[in-house]
Every structure is written in C-alpha cells, then in structure tokens.
Structure 1
Amino acid sequence: MAFSINPGGQVSPEETLGRDELITELWGILSAQSIYMNDLRRIGKTQIMKKMNAQPRAGWASVYRDVSSCTTAAEFATLAYRLSAEMLSGTQRNLRRMGNLLGKMAGAEIAGILKLPDGSAVPWKEVLSRTFADIDEAMVARGDEAKMVFFWDEIPYLIGKIAKNDSPAVAMDVLDVLRALGQDHDRVRLFLSGSIGLHHVLHSLRQNGYNGSPLNRMAKAQPGPLAAPESETLARGLMEGSGRKFEDVDACVTALTSAVGHVPFYIHKLVSRLPKDQSLTPQLIESTLDREIRSDQNDWDLQHYRNRIDRYYEGSQKIVLAILDTVAVGQPMNLAAILKDLASQMDADQERVRRLLKLLCLDHYLMRDEANRYRFYLDIIRRWWRLERDL
C-alpha cells in the first residue's frame, strides 16, 4: 500500500497506522474512567486522538480540540460550551441549563467569552458545571450506554497560560473543577494530552500552595513509538509511494525505521529527504539522517530538547546537561556509573541526581530498563544530542 509523504502535516485516520490495538485499549479504559496521555512531542499523540474522534465507538459522542490557544479560564469554559453545543446541534437535545442561564442571548460570545443578557461575563465555573450537567442529561436521553468524551490536547499549556493570565489560584481551581466534574458526571469523560508533562505545571502551582492531585483518578497512557512491523509498513508505503529506488527494499526499510526509532513523524521526515536519483542503501539512509540532524538549519524540531532544559530545570541546568552527556556516551548506565562519571566533573549530591533522573524519565529524555540502567528514550534524540554537544 502506497502512502503520501507528509512530515508534520495532517494525516488521515486511515493513514494513522499501527495504533488500532492501542486505540481499542483506550476506548476500553474510557468506558470506566478518564485518561491523561503524555509522551514526547512528535510521537503521534494528536493523531491518535484525532483518529479516535473521527472514528468513535458505538454509543460515544466526541469532540477534539487543541486547547493551547485558550489564554484564560473563561475562554476555556466558553470553548467547552461551544464545542458541546455544536456536537448536540443536530439532535433534539440542547444545553438546557446553559440556555436558561444565558436567556434570550443564548450563545452570545464576545472576544471568546460568554456574556449574560446584562453584558457581564458568565462565571467560568458556572459555564463548565452547567455544560457538563447538560451533556450528562443528553447522554442519558440517548440510551443506557451513551457517553461523551472531550479530547483536549496540550492541556499543560492551557493550565500554564491560565496561571499566567488569570492567576495561579484560578489555574488550581480549573484543575480541581475538572477533576470534580469528571467524578460527578458518569456520562462524560476527559481525554487529556500534552507533550510538556503536567508535573512541571503542578510543581509551579504547588509553590503557590496547591495541594491537589488532579490526575489521581485518571488512567495514564504513554503511546510510545510504533511497533517495528507497523513502522516498517509505513516506511515501505512511503518509499514505494514516492517512487524511490532500492537495492534491497527490506534492508532499507529496516535501516530507516531503526534509525528514527519507529516514530511516524521522523519516518515521514527522513523519507522526504532521501535522494530520488540514487538507488537507496542502508548506508545512504544513515548518511542522509546524519547530514539532516547535524545541520544547524535542520527542521526536525530537535533543538526543543535542549531549549526546554533552561525553562523546566532552572537552577539545575549544569548537572542535567552533564547527566544527559554522560548517558549519551555510556548508555546503558546504572546510578553508580552515572555518579562516578559526574564526580569527575562536579560535586553531585546523590539524592539530587536521583530526583533529576526521575524527572528526566518523566520528561521522556531517558528511560530505565529492567536492570535499573538508564538510556535515552529514543535513540534519534541520543544521536542528535551527541552531535549537538560534540560528544
């Protein structure tokens, strides 16, 4: 089967390969509880959510939205109401409680915020509470098994923006309200996702007195890269669909998918950069990737992994960089080996290193294997890191 190359663009649900088993599992989880999905950017989280939204299971209503564009709690609540109203617009049910609140101006929206008949803004908590109650009622009317799920992408960015533009206290309230509404309305589920771990946002909020645990009743999901057979199907379809020539197609497919860690975005990207006027070999594929990620002008979105350290590891940049440098060269490494290497460079407190290693795993820079050894989560990130850091 031939596929179109589209690195970073919209991929149709039909071309979102290798995720069907995971999606079936996620729908099963949603029948009982909400989900928070976190993984590296470009791993395919958004495509999973969009495929689930485009192909919902029987009995499910759904809406998808990247919520990072919302800057305040009021904008977010208005978006939730508007999406719900649009979803129910073709049915006999409407948002009764919200309609009663808004009166004759039902749905009046100015600068992204709902307004009451007197022109004042509708309190965001009231909007969310009534919207969830209305959806719950509408799903009950549809039948015993009917439920609705909100697919909300980039939720950590949303909470961070609310903390900045409203206040940390309002951001805390949003998290607690969503948690409570998810518990109170059994016909409504939340499927939240983000590339930046919510733990960073929660850490900042806890410095302002937040003690909540907004995710403790949600299932956690980490999709990871594709399995090798599915990534090879994708790579083969992209290379054959683009008319590339091969000396040994199987060897080329294996070399390409292994080099980019079986990540769909990187598979699309590397295939798009392969020469069309040469017969491809594993060696040519490797050299093309090396040239691409070595370039200071590369558009592989890899610099992100260096830049975010300054933001999310403020005060610990030096030791974090040293840890990543050490593991990039010597992986897999256990804690003792890492500490030994760091000791030759700086004073490194063991407990501090433990905490930072845990954070680096939560942020998917590193992973820990069954033998308690650390390695890079994706080898393409390790490969780029070594080039970037002259290791």
Structure 2
Amino acid sequence: MSLVVGGIVQPDDVVGRIRDAEAVIDSLPGSGAVLVGDRRHGKTSLSRVVQRDARRLGAVVIAASAERETYAEFVAALAAELANAEPAWAQELSRLRVTLTAGPVRVERDGRAAAALDQLLERAVDRAGHRQVVLFIDEVTVLARNLERQERGSGDSFLHTLRRFRQEHGAAVATVLSGSIGFHHVSPDAPSTVNDIRKITVGPIRADHAAYLAECLLFGGGLSAETAHHLAPAVAEAGENVPYYIQHLVAASLAMYRGGRRILSPAEVPDLVTAAIEDPTDPWDLRHYRDRLAHYYGDDAPVIAKLLDIYAHAPAPLDVDEVLAQVRSTGIPIGERDELVSFIERLELDHYLVRTGDRDRFASALVQRAWRAIRR
C-alpha cells in the first residue's frame, strides 16, 4: 500500500470502513444518509467506497462536489458527472452545461440553474428505469451557505429541492450528503432539510484497523515486516486512529529512515506529533482549527477562541458551571448561562468539544495540544 498524504485514497485501499460503508448502503432504500464528522476523518473516502459498491449493486451513481461559488457551476458539474455515468445522454447534457454557464448576469444563470436542477434530477430518474438513482454530493453545505449569503433563503431552497427529490420518488432515489461544515452554518432551518435521512457519524477507525493501516504503509515504504508490525500500534495511537494523521506519521517515520538516520522506536513516535505541532510551516494544517473560527462564528469568533482556551488548558472535562466561573473571572464577554450553553453546543456540533454526561472536553487530544501551541 502506498502513501497518499492528504490526497484521495482509492476505494480498494481504504481501511477500517467496511461497517460504515455497509451502514450507508443499508440507508439507500430509505432515501440515503448524511455523513457527519470532523474534517479529516475520511467522509470523502467513505463516500467513494460507497459509490463503488452502489455501482456494483446496479444503481445509477451521480457524484459531484458542491464546493462551488454558484448554483450554475454546481448543476453544470452534476450534468457532466451524469454524462460520464450515462454516455448516451452526453450530447444533451453538454448543451445544458453551455446554457447554464453562458450569459452576463450570474443571478439569471443561477435562476436557470435552480430550474435546471429539478429538470436534471427528474430526467435522471426517468432514464434510470428500474435502477435506483443515488446522488452523492460532497461539500453540500458549502454551496448552500454561499447561496444563503448571496440571497437569504436560497441556500435553504437548494437543500429543500434535494429533500423534495427524495420524498417525491421514494425508494427510486437516494442522496448521500457530506461536507466539512455543518448544516447549522447555513441557516437555523437547514438541519431540518435532512431530518428524513439517516445521520451516520464518521469518526476514527478501530484501533486494530488503524494499526493494520500503519503497518501496511510502513511495510510499503520499505521497512521490514517485523519492524513495521512492531512500530505500527504506536503510530496508530499517536495519530488517534485517524487515517489522515497516520499517513503523516508514517511519512515522517519513513523520511527519517530513508535519510539514513535510523528507525524510530515506538516510544519516539509521539515526538513526531510534537514536531508537527511546533513546525512553523504547519505541515498538518492544524492552524485551520483557529483560522476558521471567523468563518464559522463571525463576530463571536474572539469569544469562542477564549472559550476554547479554557478547555484547552483544563486537566479534566468541565461542566457548564465550572466554565462559567472561569468566564466571569477572566472577563470573557458572555452574559447569561444560557448563552454559554449555546456556545458550547455550537462547539460540539463543530467537533471541537465532545460531551460526556454533563461535562465537555476537546474531542481530540491532538487538536487540544495544537490549540495550546497555536494560541501560545
């Protein structure tokens, strides 16, 4: 198995997602699922595995990224993907794409796109015959939020179109939605647009699967089978069983080996995490957890950052009253207890915090360490 650091892993090389993939496949007769989880936990890789499996089961699979600025760009991309899936329809779809991307006024193009999406989906179902149409949309909330910011209600309208598509056609269609931001960032109403489909959480993989992945990558990188087997559990643990971090740790381990230095011992693997956190070039892009706050929370971002500081330096999970006491003693401008609870709930939804009982802590100890280092 070859390293794919930060890139797209081929479906056959994805490790530890068999049960998750089965859960998504099982959701398709019931209109599909929305994949929920922190960035880097592998939602896109899981989606690609399910796309492969759905095709093998005979479904018409249409997959596209909604990470677009305009409605028209997304529908044109969707039409292109459908043309690839159904070549007999390619010429007609090509004309549609030209229509969508032509014209001087973007608002007019997006108006045409909203109608074209309905038409495109209806025709896909008609042409599929007895085959189920499964629509995979990655970064669906990115487009919805962009639309909502351009014109209030347009992002919700886009999401409701997808919901209506599912409900009108029943078992004939399904959507599998994923994204790096939550639906709550689109609008207060947006989460209700997916309350008809299953929510499947995509988290770290099992510890034994993570160790197997690390072992395969280390062996594929040139270490002996014995050495790879010995080192792999430490790599998996240091990477919190998250394939993205495991790939980075394996790459760093192999770089030391190939540089003629030496093979790391398991006890030294955590030092690679420290090195990545302290590296000014930020090779794991951990500053993103800080930098996206303004994008996520707007004017509340400075308050949210200070709230995360409290959790980052806490030796144990905190309940609301413990946090409230620190908020008041440090002068963080949070008014009532209810406002604090609202902030905490938002941080849980965005996978910064995780709740156990009535207490919260950082969801990732690695990100917690990085936060302390980044905030200094």
Tell me the TM-score normalized by structure 2: 0.87
Whether the 8 Å CA contact 1:332–1:375 is kept in 2: the answer is: yes
Specify the alignment match of 1:31 in structure 2. Answer: 29
Specify the alignment match of 2:362 in structure 1. Answer: 376
The one-letter code of the counterpart of 1:384 is A
Q: Does 1:351 align with 2:338?
A: yes
Specify the alignment match of 2:62 in structure 1. Answer: 63
**Shift of residue 285 of structure 1?**
1.1
Whether the 8 Å CA contact 1:247–1:280 is kept in 2: the answer is: no
CA distance in 2, matches of 1:111, 1:279: 58
The one-letter code of the counterpart of 1:133 is E
3-state DSSP of counterpart to 2:124: helix
Specify the alignment match of 1:161 in structure 2. Answer: 146
Whether the 8 Å CA contact 1:49–1:64 is kept in 2: the answer is: no
Specify the alignment match of 1:51 in structure 2. Answer: 49
- Structure 1 pair 232–212 and aligned structure 2 pair: CA distance change class (3 A): closer
Q: Does 1:334 align with 2:313?
A: no
3-state DSSP of counterpart to 2:366: helix
**Shift of residue 39 of structure 1?**
1.7
Q: Which has the higher helix share?
A: 2
CA distance in 2, matches of 1:234, 1:112: 43
CA distance in 2, matches of 1:211, 1:229: 37
Which residue of 349, 362, 380 maps to 2:349? 362
CA distance in 1, matches of 2:190, 2:19: 36
- Structure 1 pair 108–180 and aligned structure 2 pair: CA distance change class (3 A): closer
- Structure 1 pair 211–383 and aligned structure 2 pair: CA distance change class (3 A): closer
Whether the 8 Å CA contact 1:302–1:384 is kept in 2: the answer is: yes
3-state DSSP of counterpart to 2:115: helix
CA distance in 2, matches of 1:380, 1:75: 37
Superposition pairs of residues 100-179 of structure 1, within 5 angstroms: 107-110=95-98, 113=101, 123-139=112-128, 141=129, 143=130, 146-164=131-149, 167-179=151-163
CA distance in 2, matches of 1:155, 1:245: 43
Which residue of 286, 308, 314 maps to 2:292? 308
Q: Does 1:225 align with 2:224?
A: no
3-state DSSP of counterpart to 1:36: strand
Specify the alignment match of 2:219 in structure 1. Answer: 240
3-state DSSP of counterpart to 1:189: strand
3-state DSSP of counterpart to 1:374: strand
**Deviations, residues 246-285 of structure 1 (Å, cap 9, x unaligned):** 9975563222212221110110011111221313113321
- Structure 1 pair 356–127 and aligned structure 2 pair: CA distance change class (3 A): same
Superposition pairs of residues 204-223 of structure 1, within 5 angstroms: 213-223=192-202
CA RMSD in angstroms, aligned pairs only:
2.7
- Structure 1 pair 264–111 and aligned structure 2 pair: CA distance change class (3 A): farther
Superposition pairs of residues 9-28 of structure 1, within 5 angstroms: 9-28=7-26
Specify the alignment match of 2:239 in structure 1. Answer: 260
**Shift of residue 54 of structure 1?**
2.5
3-state DSSP of counterpart to 1:191: strand
**Deviations, residues 76-100 of structure 1 (Å, cap 9, x unaligned):** 233333332332225xxx59xx96x
CA distance in 2, matches of 1:225, 1:212: 24
Whether the 8 Å CA contact 2:135–2:175 is kept in 1: the answer is: yes
The one-letter code of the counterpart of 2:204 is P
Which residue of 70, 73, 88 maps to 1:72? 70
Specify the alignment match of 1:272 in structure 2. Answer: 251
**Shift of residue 358 of structure 1?**
0.4
Whether the 8 Å CA contact 2:61–2:135 is kept in 1: the answer is: yes
The one-letter code of the counterpart of 2:249 is L
The one-letter code of the counterpart of 2:31 is Q
- Structure 1 pair 249–75 and aligned structure 2 pair: CA distance change class (3 A): closer
In structure 2, list runs of 5 or more residues that go unmatched.
none
3-state DSSP of counterpart to 1:375: strand
In structure 1, list runs of 5 or more residues that go unmatched.
204-209
**Shift of residue 164 of structure 1?**
4.5
Tell me the TM-score normalized by structure 1: 0.84
3-state DSSP of counterpart to 1:221: strand
The one-letter code of the counterpart of 2:221 is S
- Structure 1 pair 245–215 and aligned structure 2 pair: CA distance change class (3 A): same
Specify the alignment match of 1:385 in structure 2. Answer: 371
Whether the 8 Å CA contact 1:247–1:279 is kept in 2: the answer is: no
The one-letter code of the counterpart of 2:297 is Y
Whether the 8 Å CA contact 1:73–1:171 is kept in 2: the answer is: no
- Structure 1 pair 299–190 and aligned structure 2 pair: CA distance change class (3 A): same
- Structure 1 pair 254–334 and aligned structure 2 pair: CA distance change class (3 A): farther
**Shift of residue 226 of structure 1?**
0.7
CA distance in 2, matches of 1:251, 1:344: 48
